[in-house]
Amino acid sequence: MKRKHKKTIILYIFIVLLPTILGSYYLIHIQSQRKLDERMEEANWVAHIHASHWDKFISDTVTSLEVLSLAAKTLYTDLEDMQPLLERTNQSDPRYGGIYILSIDGQIITGSNKIFQKNAFFEIDIVQEVVRTKDIIISNKEFSLPNDQKVLALAVPILNDKNELIAVSMSLLRVDYVKNLLNVLTPGAQLLVLNANDEEVMGFNIKKDDPLDNDRWVSVPIDRIPWNLQVKVPEPDVRNTTMDYIFIIGAVLILTNILFLLIMYMLLRRQAALEKQENEVQKLELVGTLAASTAHEIRNPLTGIKGLVQLLGEKYDDPTDRLYFSVINKEIERINEIVGEFLILGKPTAQKMHAVDIAKVLNELQPLILSEATLNKIDLIYNPSEQPIFVKCTRDQMKQVILNITRNAFEAMENGGRLTIDLSKKNSTCELMISDTGVGIKDEVIEKIFTPFYTSKETGTGLGLVVCRRILHSFGGKIHITSKENKGTTVKITLPIAKTH
């Protein structure tokens, strides 16, 4: 009992616990990766949305400054006259913290407000970069105006018809306006704007201790300026993640337990079938031993009776007496047949088996089977193999099996019918099929037909099929019977092909 319990525990470990652990780990890994991909995709979408708005924001600003640059070219001789235009532009658009016209050495010529004094030098580095490149330049970081307002500087070159730099148009972009605009798009998103040197220009919802590793951030370039926009991949929701893990582990555990129960059920059925088969074998051996010993005890006095009957038959010549003696002899022969079945049912004596051509055996039995079929008004369909099929067995016992089965078929067709005998070779086995169109066998009866002494006939001994199976098993063969009530029965005999030299 302890051994069986230990075996069950080992099976549970290998069928339930280990697969649950490994399967849950694998499925959790897949689920985590899928969720991470979803968050990465979401972060990538946010990054592209913000990058697109940055591009539009810069494009609109540059367009506005280019319009002012055209006006500056027209008023080149007196750029101070542009102040009203700069003031109106600055007031009409909340993005601006100020708009200025600078000389090529960085000196303020005019502006939209008086935060800076006239002729003051302003953002020399940006102006020098515009002079060098004659291109649009944006400051690498935010800075504060005298009124503590944080801004970014965007400079656009003003060129004459000869493509010579004559001045610089510079707008101060309010950082708080940009932040509000981006925050409206995706509130709560954590993002950074980095300049060309990967230095932080501005950040949104960023904690100081957040590491900037590539696995947790999505980076998208801003087309109009040499900046990058980075969005942090959202952290997984702890509650939803926990529920997902619990569901996965629970589902795997349920499936593995169902599998365990199915395997245990199959093992129990297999064990029950083996025990039943073992019990049948033991019962058959016990019955066989008893039958064989009884048969020996019966055969000895029966031999004496048969001899005395023969002597009496020689002494009495009267026809009536001879009729009685013939009846007695027939009954003695019948008893001998039953005794012979008893002996086979017991442990059979060692017989010398040799390769026998089953096709030839069937041909030898054909006249006998045909005469009995004709007597019972039964059509016989005989399909023996044209090629010899050798099986290792004893010829007489093989004949006994075939005649026993055909006799049962004739008895099942009292009102006539059809008996079909087919012999064929399939791979390494010999297959003999004997089919009839008789009354058939009930389902509840067919399960008991190989039980010793069980019979559905009034005069049967219940040993015929048992003996047939015992003989065929001794040849290494099998017998299988299928039947449908009122339609007929098919007996399938399979035997291993003998190796002939």
Over residues 13-65, the pLDDT tens digits come to 888 899 999 999 999 999 999 998 888 898 899 889 888 988 888 888 888 88
The Cα 41–Cα 43 span in angstroms is 5
Instruction: Give CA angle at 187 (181, 192), nearest 5°.
Output: 70
The Cα 457–Cα 418 span in angstroms is 21
For position 285, what pLDDT does the model report?
65
CA 147 to chain centroid, in Å, comes to: 69
Domain shared by 394 and 489, yes or no: yes
**How many CA atoms within 13 Å lie on the side-chain side of 440?**
10
List the structure tokens of 156: 């656009």
According to DSSP, the β-strands at 217-222 and 227-232 are antiparallel
The values of phi and psi at residue 316, to 5°, are -105, 120
Determine, yes or no, domain membership for 479: yes
CATH number for position 68: 3.30.450.20
pTM summary value: 0.53
Q: Average pLDDT in the 283-311 region?
A: 66
CATH number for position 321: 1.10.287
Q: Is 116 exposed, middle or buried (0-12, 13-18, 19+ CB in 10 A)?
A: middle
CATH number for position 362: 3.30.565.10
For position 462, what pLDDT does the model report?
67
| pLDDT of residue 280 exceeding 80 | no
Q: Over the stretch 404-436, which tens digit does the pLDDT of each residue have?
A: 899 888 888 888 889 999 999 888 899 999 999
CB atoms inside a 10 Å sphere around CB 185: 12
Determine, yes or no, domain membership for 323: yes
Choose one of 321, 343, 365: the last residue of a domain: 343
- Cβ–Cβ < 8 Å for 484, 443: no
Domain shared by 9 and 88, yes or no: yes
Determine, yes or no, domain membership for 65: yes
Determine, yes or no, domain membership for 439: yes
Choose one of 299, 320, 343: the last residue of a domain: 343
Determine, yes or no, domain membership for 312: yes
Q: What percent of the chain has pLDDT over 90?
A: 13
Q: Whole-number mean pLDDT of the chain?
A: 82
**How many CA atoms within 13 Å lie on the side-chain side of 480?**
8
Determine, yes or no, domain membership for 407: yes
Residue 440: pLDDT band by 50, 70, 90 thresholds? confident
- Cβ–Cβ < 8 Å for 381, 366: no
Domain shared by 164 and 299, yes or no: no
Q: Average pLDDT in the 127-137 region?
A: 87
Residue 255: pLDDT band by 50, 70, 90 thresholds? very high
Residue 186: pLDDT band by 50, 70, 90 thresholds? confident
List the structure tokens of 169: 């148009």
Residue 271: pLDDT band by 50, 70, 90 thresholds? confident
| pLDDT of residue 330 exceeding 80 | no
Choose one of 327, 343, 359: the last residue of a domain: 343
Determine, yes or no, domain membership for 263: yes
Q: Over the stretch 356-415, which tens digit does the pLDDT of each residue have?
A: 999 998 888 888 888 888 888 889 888 878 788 899 998 888 888 888 899 888 888 888
Domain shared by 25 and 50, yes or no: yes
The Cα 40–Cα 140 span in angstroms is 28
- Largest Cα separation within the chain, whole Å, is 168
Domain shared by 135 and 266, yes or no: no
Domain shared by 295 and 215, yes or no: no
Domain shared by 211 and 248, yes or no: no
Domain shared by 102 and 250, yes or no: no
List the structure tokens of 303: 């031999």
Q: How many domains does the chain have?
A: 3
CB atoms inside a 10 Å sphere around CB 495: 23
Domain shared by 353 and 455, yes or no: yes
Determine, yes or no, domain membership for 153: yes
First to last CA, the chain: 52
| pLDDT of residue 211 exceeding 80 | no
Domain shared by 390 and 280, yes or no: no
> Which domain, by its residues, includes 288?
239-343
Domain shared by 419 and 317, yes or no: no
Domain shared by 418 and 307, yes or no: no
